[in-house]
Amino acid sequence: MPDPGPDLGPDLGWMDAGTAYFEARVRGADLGRPSRLPGWSGRHVVAHVAANARALGRLVHWARTGEERPMYASAEARDAEIEDLAARLDAAALESLAEETSEELREALVELSGDQWDARVRTAQGRLVPASEVVWLRTREVWVHGVDLGGRFEDLPGELVDALLTDVTALWARRGEEPAMVLRPADRLTSWPADVDGLPEVRGTAAELAAWVTGRGPAPDPAAPAIGRWL
């Protein structure tokens, strides 16, 4: 993940590139077709990304003002908002909404001061994080959902793929669901987790492994164990 700067907050480069990547996948796409997410059409994916920008914007407001604003009132409210937007808006309106909410989130982020980047906010999974992590949360959303609309993990910057592998394996560890295995990319000199011996290895390219652990592709190794959902 990009390192926060001393005065300017986190580097927004990955987020900006991911936003452009996602929006390029949306333009001209048949959003009525199924996406890579089971049960979701392209309309659902675009609705979700727009709603996510609004939700993360609430965390930015929290960091800037100290007024607590959760991302969503509940998981049910989150799901209902996505369904409503996907059913009510046509493809052009969904595309416009996704672009507008992305821009609003970016504008809110760049208005944060140095101290506000350190303010603690709570993610939809209930984790307290510094507001600077909002940039990574949004980066992850736009790139991965761009893959859901016809992209490939091979399109992602290599360092971003590595950050995703770190993110997923850290989440497994926090949940106490860490599988007894090591992810060993054929095109990297490291592994996830690193410096662990004696566990079975799952091999593939880093992009193949990222697709698998995020639920967007098959296991690249036939000996791979079953894994649960990512988020």
Q: How far apart are CA 50 and CA 78, in angstroms?
A: 12
User: Among 172, 148, 165, which Cα is nearest to 38's?
Assistant: 148
Q: How far apart are CA 203 and CA 201, in angstroms?
A: 6
Write down all domains in the chain, each with its CATH number in brackets.
Answer: 13-151 (1.20.120.450), 158-213 (no CATH)
For 124-172, write each residue's pLDDT tens digit: 999 999 999 999 999 999 999 999 999 999 999 999 999 999 999 999 8
For 93-132, write each residue's pLDDT tens digit: 999 999 999 999 999 999 999 899 999 999 999 999 999 9
Q: Do the Cβ atoms of 2 and 13 come closer than 8 Å?
A: yes
Q: What are the Cα distances from residue 225, in Å, to 38, 201, 210, 219?
A: 21, 10, 15, 9
Tell me whether strands 201-204 and 182-185 are parallel, antiparallel or unpaired: parallel
Three-state SS for 150? coil
Which residue shows structure tokens 């992590």? 133
Q: What is the pLDDT of residue 151?
A: 96
Q: What is the pLDDT of residue 2?
A: 45
* pTM for this model (two decimals): 0.93
Name the residue type at position 50.
A
Which residue shows structure tokens 């309309």? 43
